[in-house]
Amino acid sequence: MFLRMTNDLINKKDIYFPNYSGSNENLNSLLNKTSQIICSWFSNSEKYGPFPIDEEFKYHMPTENGNSPEDLFSEIETLMLNSFNPLHPGSLAHLDPPPLIFSILGDLIAAALNNNLLAYELSPSISDLEESLFRWLSKKIGFGDYSGGIAASGGTLSNLNALIAARDNAGLSSDPNAAFLISDEAHSSFIKCAKIMGLHENNLIKVKTDNKGSMDLKYLKKTIKKCSKLNKKIFSIVATLGTTIRGALDPIEGIGEICKNNNIWLHIDGSIGGIFSITNIPINGLKNINCANSITINPQKILGITKTSSILLVSNMEYLKNTFSTGLPYISSKSNFLDRGELGLQGSRPAEVIKLWLGLRFLGIKGIEDILKSSIDKKIYLEKNLNSKKYEIYSGPLHIISFLPKGMNIKDSNSWTQINRIKLLKNNFMLSRPEFKGKYFLRAVMGNYNTSESHIGDLVKILNSI
Ligand SMILES: Cc1ncc(COP(=O)(O)O)c(C=O)c1O
């Protein structure tokens, strides 16, 4: 039907919006066409590789009379052909796995509903769903009856929500000496958080890590003493569960003890490793994390819940309410229900929880464990087969591994990683090139469910011969 549609305005008005009473035949046909294009892009992933080497997407800007569906579909196809493809088995560069099918459907449904998580009256069932799912997740990680959480668009925002609540809870919101601590391998976005919070750069304090990349408790204690001498008031210590470059885990139990003794808010950045704590996968350091006040979990990074999907869980929802609730004077609230826009930085929010809920419901704990375990197994297989005489290798217990030929200085590491990243890309393997310990490394993130042992074997052959 759409193929015969011309660019004249009368016809176009039929498909401005879905039809509220008719059959929606046009929409159905547009959805079918979209579905065909998406499935064809997926099916041809192998042919096109993980990243378009010679990008040739020409952007067209909106015109006076708008464009026809035919024009747009043809442009959508070119856009997709020039996109990064997380589905390709060689897509191993970042924390961006293939999308779960039920999450794709969840995104579509969320867009169709166009409900707004700002307030109950704009999203009744979905506000309830978010509250219930986040309470369920809180209980799964061992938080108590007052716990719960809020979604945000990405790990940075979830961490920021937590830090703002921590500072507010400590009564230090307008204190220029307010400070927080992270490990020296924590994610760079904490610098952004500190800036947004108006903290002096010296009040984001980095604690040394040990040779495994975990926060060193000895240095943590020393740092706390030093802060006290300098009159810096620590409102939070951030422990990372799964560092970005090598998947290291900070020692939660030890940090938790120190936080308790010093009355400091423990925030866990579990953007990468947090999701493991709702499973039975036995990894030391990923259990007993309920000593924290807050934890970020980012299922978009490893499970394949489509972007964005980030969760902040808190041991007591009053923290979020006290920090963020301002009242919504133009909203009719439901009694005994706090509108979800009152619990974090974001006001209007899409119904992202649908794709998370559908993804988790479809997988169940067993399916989640299958995906997480397979990522770790693949990392172990790659690590075992990389030539350890040739490479300096960094990897913790999770699915991330960074490596570089031994003995390289920064200049050599710069050129070696640039040249070989492109060489790998030409062989349909996409790895990333992080800066780490003053040099450049290649990094593989083994969270792609489509990558088989035989793909890893091919990757190893290249890596051991370059
Ligand atoms: C450990 C960690 N924390 C936070 C972030 C920031 O997450 P986002 O990019 O979703 O904001 C990342 C991103 O990779 C990360 O690896």
**DSSP string of 57-88, one letter each residue:** PPP----SS---HHHHHHHHHHHHHTS--TTS
Please give the number of the atom of ligand 1 that sits closest to the Cα of 157: 11
pTM of the model: 0.96
Whether the Cβ atoms of residue 431 and residue 93 lie closer than 8 Å to each other: yes
Burial grade of 261 (CB within 10 A; 0-12, 13-18, 19 or more): exposed
Q: How far is CA 433 from the centre of its chain?
A: 19
Cis peptide leading into residue 63 (ω within 30°): no
Q: Residue 52 class from Cβ within 10 Å (0-12 exposed, 13-18 middle, 19+ buried)?
A: middle
Ligand 1 pocket, residue 246 CB under 6 Å: no
Confidence band of 254 (pLDDT split at 50, 70, 90): very high
Cβ of 244 below 6 Å from ligand 1: yes
Ligand 1 midpoint to CA 275 (Å): 14
Cα dihedral across residues 31, 33, 34, 38: positive or negative:
positive
**HSE value, Cβ hemisphere, 13 Å, CA-based, for 211:** 2
CA–centroid distance, 84 to ligand 1, in Å, is 19
Considering only CA atoms, which residue is closest to atom 4 of ligand 1?
155
The per-residue pLDDT for 362 is: 98
- pLDDT of 9 over the 90 cut: no
Q: Is 309 in the pocket of ligand 1 (CB under 6 A)?
A: no
Atom 7 in ligand 1: residue holding the nearest Cα: 155
Helix (H, G, I), strand (E, B) or coil at 102: helix
How many CA atoms does the CB half-sphere of 99 hold within 13 Å? Answer: 20
Ligand 1 site-directed mutation target among 95, 156, 158, 300, most atoms within 8 Å of CB: 156
Mutation test residue for ligand 1: of 301, 310, 436, the one with most atoms within 8 Å of CB: 301
Helices 410-426 and 453-465: crossing angle, nearest 10°?
140
> For ligand 1, what atom is nearest to the CA of residue 300?
10
Cα–ligand 1 centroid distance for 203 (angstroms): 21
Tell me the per-residue pLDDT of 212-235, one tens digit each, with 9 for 90 and over: 999 999 999 999 999 999 999 999
CA 421/CA 443 separation, integer angstroms: 10
| 328 Cα: distance to centroid of ligand 1 (angstroms) | 30
Q: Cα–Cα distances in Å, from 190 out to 150, 183, 187, 217?
A: 19, 10, 6, 20
**Residue 208 and residue 235 in contact, taking contact as beta carbons nearer than 8 Å:** no
171 dihedral zone (left: phi>0; alpha: psi -120 to 50; beta): left
Q: 156: CA distance to ligand 1 center in Å?
A: 6
Structure tokens at 106: 């969840």
What ranges do the domains of the chain cover? Answer: 2-85, 105-360, 369-465
> 45-49, 179-183, 249-253 — which is least confidently predicted?
45-49
269 CA from centroid of ligand 1 (Å)? 9
What is the chain's mean pLDDT, rounded? 96
Q: Which atom of ligand 1 is nearest to the CA of 240?
A: 1
Contacts of 198 (CB under 8 A, 6+ apart): none
Instruction: State the CB neighbour count (10 A cutoff) for residue 282.
Output: 8
Which of 95, 102, 134, 240 lies closest to 181 in space, CA to CA?
240
105-360 maps to CATH 3.90.870.40 = no
Tell me which DSSP letter residue 49 carries.
-
pLDDT band at 4 (very low <50, low <70, confident <90, very high): low
The response to whether residue 298 sits with its C-beta less than 6 Å from ligand 1 reads yes
Ligand 1: nearest atom to the Cα of 186: 1
CATH T-level fold of 369-465: Aspartate Aminotransferase, domain 1 (3.90.1150)
Q: What is the pLDDT of residues 410-454, one digit of tens each?
A: 999 999 999 999 999 999 999 999 999 999 999 999 999 999 999
Distance 126 CA to ligand 1 centre (A): 26
Tell me, using a 6 A CB cutoff, whether residue 272 lines ligand 1.
Answer: yes
